[in-house]
Amino acid sequence: METTSERGASAEDRAAAALMAAGYSIVARNWSCDTGELDLVARERDVLVFVEVRSRVDDAHGRAAQMVSVGKQKKVTRVAGMYLMLERPRFQQARFDVVAVTGESVEIIRDAWRL
């Protein structure tokens, strides 16, 4: 039986693989600062993408993508701001994607929310 952290790491591995298969490049995994952590930072062409990974065993209690509350969106947005300030990546565009891992399914939701 997997622990919660093992299940989360497995979901992030599957999310990264799905993103790479879709043409993204992974820039960072589990980037953290005092403000919080970003699951994945990726690049799709000339766009920097901050990725929140959500996983569920099944849809019985709601879809994984629905687990990204407005509060969580604000927190990820704040941490992304810190990433931009500290890492100074050279991208003119950025967006927020969610990768929902539900059972064997992996769904990439592009532009899941806006600033």
* pLDDT score recorded for residue 65: 55
H or E element, residue 91: none
27 Cα distance to chain centroid: 12
Q: Is 83 exposed, middle or buried (0-12, 13-18, 19+ CB in 10 A)?
A: buried
**Which residues of the chain fall short of a pLDDT of 70?**
1, 57-66
Tokens of 1: 């039986």
* pLDDT score recorded for residue 59: 61
Count of beta carbons in the 10 Å neighbourhood of residue 71: 8
Which 3 state secondary structure label does DSSP give 99?
strand
* pLDDT score recorded for residue 66: 64
- CATH number, domain 4-113: 3.40.1350.10
Q: How many CA atoms lie within 13 A of 67 on its CB side?
A: 18
* pLDDT score recorded for residue 61: 53
* pLDDT score recorded for residue 114: 86
